[in-house]
Each structure stands twice: as C-alpha cells, then as structure tokens.
Amino acid sequence: MNKMLALMKKDFKLLFRDKMAVFFTFVFPLVFAFIFGSIFSGDGGGSKALKVAVVDLDQTEQSKAFVEQISEADEFTVTLSTEEKAKDLVRRGKRVAYFILPQGFGEDYKGVFAGSPPEVLVGIDPSRKAEAGYLEGSLMKLGINRFEQAFSDPTAMTEQLDASIAQIQESDDIPDEWKSLLNDYLPKMKELTAQEIGNGEGFGFGGEDGAENPMMPLKVTKQEEVVKRSGPQNAFAITIPQGVIWAIMGCVIGFAISIVQEKTLGTMNRLIVAPISRTQIVAGKALGCFVAQIAVVTLLFVVAYFVLGVRFNLPKLILAAVASGICFVGLMMFFASLAKTERSVAGITNAFLLMMGMVGGAMIPLFVMPGWMQAISNFSPVKWAIVAFEGAVWRDFSYGEMMTPVLILIAIGVVAFILGTRMVKLEQA
Amino acid sequence: MIQVDALNKHFGSIHAVKDVSLEIPTGQIFGLLGPNGAGKSTSISIMTGLIDCDSGSVALNGLNPQSKQARFKIGLIPQSIALYEELSAVDNLSFFASLYDIPKNKMSERMDWALEFVGLSDRANDRVSQFSGGMKRRLNLAASLLHDPDYIFMDEPTAGVDPQSRNKLFENVLKLKELGKTVIYTTHYMEEAQKLCDKVGIIDHGQLLALGTVDELLKQYGGDTKVSISSEQGVQHFESGDVSQDLLEALKKSNKVYDISMHRPDLETVFLNLTGRQLRD
C-alpha cells in the first residue's frame, strides 16, 4: 500500500508542477460552471420581471382592471390561471408567486372612504423573503393607483362618494361622532366634485403619487406555498455537474498520458524492475486518478455550496462521485492501453471524451436536448455521470433511482479497467 | 554470480537473442558490446526480469530475476534518462527509494550518499529539467543505487555525455567494483569497455560472438600487429604475431632507419573483425 501511495504522491507532485494541467483540472471547470451558470441564471442583464400567476375570482370591472394593471407592470410577467393551477405552478417552482383577487375585491376597490381595502391573496414560498418584499411593494404601488383614479375622475368620485355615504349610513360599526362628521363632510365633497364636473377639470389628492394617503391601498394577505424542489435550484445546479465532468475528463486525460509517459521516459522500467508488482503499479495509477477525481469533485461542490448557493444531498453526492470515479478510472486505463505515445493517447482520449461529453450533456444540459439526442446520450458514460450528480443535486433521486446511473457507471468502469489492464503493456516498446 | 543459459527471445519474426549463455563472477565488470540493434538491451531486459525470455534461464546467485527477492538486488540504469524532469533530484530519489522498503531513518542517508557518489549534492533541490545531459546521466545512476543493489545493469550509460561527466561515470563504475558490486555494462564505445571491463562479450544479430577478457579477445580476434619501417630502402609494411622477433629481423636488413611505427590491434579492431564494417542504422 505504501508503494501505491508513493506512486500516487509522485503523480500529484507532477500534476501540481504542471500549471496548465492544474488550470484545466481545477480552475477551468469552475470557470466553466460559473460563466455558464451566470449566463443561464439571467444575471447577465436579462429581464428581472417576476413570473407570477394571477387568479381573478371576483371577475368585476375593478378586478379585471387591476389584473390588467398587473399585466402591464414592468415588475411582473403574468400568467392568468385558475386557483388550483396557480398554486401548483408556485409549488413546482414554475412561478415565483400567485395573486388571487377574491370575491368582493371590486366592491372594496370602489370604497375609497369606507369599507375595507381590497384584499389580494399572495402565495409565495416562505424561503423567498426578498421576492416577497418586492412583490408586496409592487402590489402596493399598483393599489395606490385606485386613489389616483378615484380623485382624477370626478364622475367616478361622485359615485364613490354616493356609495360611501350609503355605507356610512347603514353601518353600525362607525362611532356616532365620526358618522356625524362624515355625513357633514362627504355631501360637501360631492358638491365640490359636481362643480369640478361642470368646470370639466380633474383634481389631485395629496402628493403626486398619492403616497401620502393615509389609507391602505391594498390588503395583502400572504399565503405560504412551500415549493417542491423538483427542478434545479438555480443555473449553477446544472452547470456544476457539467463542470465536474470537465474536471474528471481532465484527470482522465492527465493520468492516461502519465501512464504512457512512464513508458516513453523509461521510468516504467524502473518501476517494473523494483520490488513492486504490476498490479500495484496499475493500482497506484488508478488510485491517483480516483483520488484526483474525488479532489476536484470536492473542490467544485464546496465552491458550489458556499459561493454559488447550490444545495445537494451529501450521501448521494458521495455515491455519484465514487461511481463516476470508478467509471473514469477504468476508461483512463483503457485509453492508456491503446496508445504508445503521449500524443496518441491525448488524441484518443480527447476525441472520445469530447464526443461523449457532447452527447452526454457536458456542454448542453440533457433536459434541453432533443429526444433523439437524449436517446443517443444513453451510450455516453458522461450522461450517466451527469445524471448521478444531478440526482444528488436537484433531481431529488431516491436511492433506488440513484442506482441506475451508479450501477451503469460502475459496470462501464469495471469492464474498461479489466480490458485496459489486460491490454496495457507496461514495458517500454 | 550471474548465470545466463541458452537465452532466446523473439519479437515477431525477429530472433532478437539467440542461445546466449554466459557466466559473470561476482565483483566483476562485464561489458556487453554490440552494434545498434545487436540484442544488448534485450539481453539486459531479460537479465533484469523486465521482459520474459522465450526459452533459457537467468539466475542471479540462483535467484530468478523476476522474484521479489532478486529485485532488491538489481539496480537498473536504463538507456533513457528515466527520471521525472519536473521533480527535483531529491524528489526523484525519494520516490524511487520508496519503492524499495528502505527504512525512513536510512532513506535520507542513502539519498545523501547517492548524490555525493555522483557529485550532485549541491544540486539536490534543483529540478532535473534544469540539469545538463551529463548531470541527468549521473542522477540516472544515483537513482539505481539507493537500495544498495548487488547487480548493477548499466545500459549505455554514457550516451550523449560530456568528457567530464563520462570520466566521473567511469570513476563511479570502478568504485562500484571496489565495493564488491557486479556491473554489467553495455556500450558501443570500445575504449570504455577496454578501460573498464574485466570480461567482455561481443554480441551481434542476437548471437554472442565472443567472450573473454580484453587480452584474450585481442589475441584471439585482433590479428597481428601492423608494423611500418621507414629507411633508406623506402617504407616497409608487414604484419607480425611476434613483433620483437620480426622487427629485429627487419631491422637487420635495413640501412639508416628513419622511423618505426606499430599499430597493435585494439578492441575496436576485434569488434569490427567480428561484426563487420557494414553500417547499422
């Protein structure tokens, strides 16, 4: 075991002396994941409108007008929906929130001076605190518009005042002193409004945007809708597994070349003549490749967790890392057995892995591939490695579901390793 | 003692080693000479257990060279610079030493000795890529001596080496003999063999053509000494097996001798007589 560790330690020393190899093994995959993650996450200057589902249960003139306001607002991208469908969209993470305008919304909307403010039910995941605050503020801004409309349209104002006077007279909740005051104030207001109609002019209320109005523009009632995490949490959840694959491919190429290089340098002859078995030599190389893969996977996921906010299931991630490690160690050994020179092993390994990477989802995420390409991808070990990592990150695989990619990866690895170790000639030609 | 008995090795249709048999007593320097492609490296590879032979046997004091026990006794200095260029001299030695179960407390002692032996102590921490060709050759030797082997196989150790490093390598080989090591030295530089080797074998086309001490080979395959006498009668050339007798006779017949020159056969003569003058590429 000590000799195998010595071999591994030496290979790591050689790897870290080669700055380009370090870059392509450890840094490039991070850069890849970060750049593509940023592009796909929309932080690169795209629309910041929040996707919301809107449900109009009131179906009054006022509710429809309010829905229209929401739809036209820059802050929102609106999908009109039923209550059930809206809730489902939020739970599945397809929409940030839903707005429900309940029955009676229109009636309350009209009552500027009496009654309750119109209620909007907002369903949002409790973890999305920042979006929740933004949503409430945006809705309030739209709600304020109802005052502007009321005070800028004397006819509507007259109607509002009539309705309010009637409500006040019927209401038992309002104290007598208030009733008397309002009964005195509102008819005078109505008189003034009638004059304004005669002048053909509108009038304002308070500040320019009505923000100084002490009355509530809307009553926002929040409803918690816990999102079922069935999709990627963010774009990095997709690009990190892809970055991991690039890192693993870097390890495979590096170690396949190192085996051939030992032969061309003649150092393999020293190893063979030394009291170390061929199995130990091969195992030392395999161990080095495996540990290098685990190291890059660890590095990438630590960065993903602490910097990019990617969450994952650790035991399943370990399972995915070990299975892909076995698979790509086997492939490394197989590639090393095919070539006699560093150049040819680099060529063979690059060509194979790039092709497997292309069809396997290392460049384009699997779920956006057309059906025929997804079918082809089944033949790529890269696909199964990505599926395994995604299973631990965002696909929310059960252990049973993890077994499919894990067993396929191990099987590929074992077959390739056996073929490779049988075919590889350690002696210098 | 190294005993090689009727070795045969084929690479496809090429019969690389044909019935090679020899014995090398302990503590001797044995030179295996031959032109390019003669079968020297293949023979060394079989003797060190690097490759299998098709038939025949090799025994290092009775041990099969592929046995674990024998491997602790073998030191191989490959023809190529078998070192990791991006590692320092010490890192290289440390790695190769770790393959031989050298106790940790002895490892640095052995590495210091090996570096001192080849004159590289002051460059211990430099990367091999910064070394000259001669320094690399010397470190190549040091890497094979860490485990204090009894049988040292040197496959053309002076290829591409400057005269100073070559001289240092010669000193090293002679020192190893002093230490009681058995050295098997392949080369196609005849003067090296003539200077260093107790016994020489000449191999060509996989066959061992001659085996013996340098003197024995000179006597057997070198031919007569070429003598030239310049006198009043002109220049006289003759070949002689008994120079003192023949020269005396020739001088008696010559008046006013101006110059006498003799060309004694050397190992190169023996080599060319045995292997021919045809180019080997």
pLDDT one-digit tens code per residue, B126-181: 999 999 988 999 999 999 999 999 999 999 888 878 888 888 889 999 999 999 99
pLDDT for res A213: 42
SS3 content of chain B, % helix, strand, coil (to 5): 35, 30, 35
pLDDT for res A127: 62
A27 touches chain B (CB under 8 A): no
Give the whole-angstrom CA distance, residue B9 versus residue A45: 71
Confidence of residue B183 (pLDDT cuts 50, 70, 90): very high
- In this structure, the answer to whether residues B78 and B158 fall within a common structural domain is yes
Decide the pairing of beta strands A76-80 and A97-101: unpaired
Q: Is the separation of the CB atoms in B83 and B92 below 8 Å?
A: yes
Residues of chain A positioned with their CB less than 8 A from the CB of B102: none
- In this structure, the answer to whether residues B117 and B236 fall within a common structural domain is no
pLDDT for res B165: 85
Residues of chain A positioned with their CB less than 8 A from the CB of B96: 270, 274
Give the whole-angstrom CA distance, residue A359 versus residue A382: 8
How close A10 comes to chain B (CA, Å)? 7
- In this structure, the answer to whether residues B74 and B95 fall within a common structural domain is yes
Residues of chain B positioned with their CB less than 8 A from the CB of A11: none
**Is residue A54 classed as helix, strand or coil in its secondary structure?**
strand
A19 touches chain B (CB under 8 A): no
**Is residue A219 classed as helix, strand or coil in its secondary structure?**
strand
Flag if B68 and A275 touch (Cβ within 8 Å).
yes
Residue B117 lies in a domain: yes
A279 touches chain B (CB under 8 A): no
Give the whole-angstrom CA distance, residue B181 versus residue B152: 7
Listed in sequence order, the residues at least 6 apart from A33 whose beta carbon sits closer than 8 Å to its beta carbon are A236, A239, A240, A242, A243, A300, A304, A308
Q: Is the separation of the CB atoms in B141 and B118 below 8 Å?
A: yes
- In this structure, the answer to whether residues B210 and B228 fall within a common structural domain is no
Residues of chain B positioned with their CB less than 8 A from the CB of A284: none
Q: Within a 10 A sphere around the Cβ of A230, how many other Cβ atoms?
A: 12
Residue of A nearest to B141 (CA): A270
Give the whole-angstrom CA distance, residue B155 versus residue B79: 5
Residue B211 lies in a domain: yes
The segments of chain A whose pLDDT lies below 50 read 43-46, 200-214, 429
Give the whole-angstrom CA distance, residue A169 versus residue A52: 40
- In this structure, the answer to whether residues B212 and B254 fall within a common structural domain is no
To which H or E segment does residue A257 belong?
A: helix A235-265
CATH code of residue B183:
3.40.50.300
CA distances from A222 to A74, A108, A355, A426 (A): 22, 18, 50, 69
Closest by Cα among A206, A57, A51 to A118: A57
Residue B271 lies in a domain: no
pLDDT for res B108: 92
Tokens of B192: 């090296």
Q: In what order do the strands lie in the sheet with A97-101?
A: A76-80, A50-56, A97-101, A119-124, A219-224
- In this structure, the answer to whether residues B63 and B200 fall within a common structural domain is yes
A271 touches chain B (CB under 8 A): yes
To which H or E segment does residue A97 belong?
A: strand A97-101
Q: Could you tell me which residues are beta bridge partners of residue B183?
A: B29, B152
Please provide residue B4's backbone torsions phi and psi, each rounded to the nearest 5 degrees.
-115, 125
Tokens of B269: 């003569």
Give the whole-angstrom CA distance, residue A140 versus residue A122: 12
- In this structure, the answer to whether residues B189 and B238 fall within a common structural domain is no
A93: left (phi over 0), alpha (psi -120 to 50) or beta: left
To the nearest whole percent, how much of chain B has pLDDT over 70?
98
- In this structure, the answer to whether residues B153 and B37 fall within a common structural domain is yes
Confidence of residue B118 (pLDDT cuts 50, 70, 90): very high
Q: Which domain holds residue B259?
A: 224-264
Residue B89 lies in a domain: yes
How close A247 comes to chain B (CA, Å)? 22
Model confidence at B13: pLDDT above 50: yes
pLDDT for res A236: 87
- In this structure, the answer to whether residues B214 and B236 fall within a common structural domain is no
Tell me, what DSSP letter sits at residue B257?
E
In order of their start, the domains of chain A are 7-41+234-423 (no CATH), 50-153+202-224 (3.40.1710.10)
Residue B73 lies in a domain: yes
How close B146 comes to chain A (CA, Å)? 11
Closest by Cα among A293, A359, A355, A291 to A324: A293
CA distances from B25 to A231, A403, B205, B239 (A): 76, 63, 25, 36
Residue of B nearest to A276 (CA): B99
Total structural domains within chain B: 2
A3 touches chain B (CB under 8 A): yes
Closest by Cα among B238, B214, B211 to B224: B238
pLDDT for res B247: 84
Residues of chain B positioned with their CB less than 8 A from the CB of A10: 84, 87, 91, 95
- In this structure, the answer to whether residues B126 and B245 fall within a common structural domain is no
How close B216 comes to chain A (CA, Å)? 33
Residue of A nearest to B49 (CA): A273
pLDDT for res A169: 73
Listed in sequence order, the residues at least 6 apart from A12 whose beta carbon sits closer than 8 Å to its beta carbon are A288, A291, A292
- In this structure, the answer to whether residues B57 and B164 fall within a common structural domain is yes
B129-143 core/surface letters (b: 16 or more CB in 10 A; e: else): eebeebbbbbbbbbb
Please provide residue A331's backbone torsions phi and psi, each rounded to the nearest 5 degrees.
-65, -40
Give the whole-angstrom CA distance, residue A97 versus residue B173: 84
Question: Which of A6, A17, A427 has the CB atom closest to B50's CB atom?
Answer: A427
How close B19 comes to chain A (CA, Å)? 22
Residue of B nearest to A17 (CA): B86
pLDDT for res A210: 40
Residue B19 lies in a domain: yes
Instruction: Tell me the pLDDT tens digit for each residue of A322-368.
Output: 999 999 999 999 998 888 888 888 888 888 888 888 888 888 777 77
- In this structure, the answer to whether residues B31 and B127 fall within a common structural domain is yes
- pLDDT higher for A364 or B78? B78
Instruction: Tell me the pLDDT tens digit for each residue of B16-66.
Output: 999 999 999 999 999 999 888 889 989 999 999 999 999 999 999 999 999
B18: left (phi over 0), alpha (psi -120 to 50) or beta: beta
Residue B281 lies in a domain: no
To which H or E segment does residue A235 belong?
A: helix A235-265
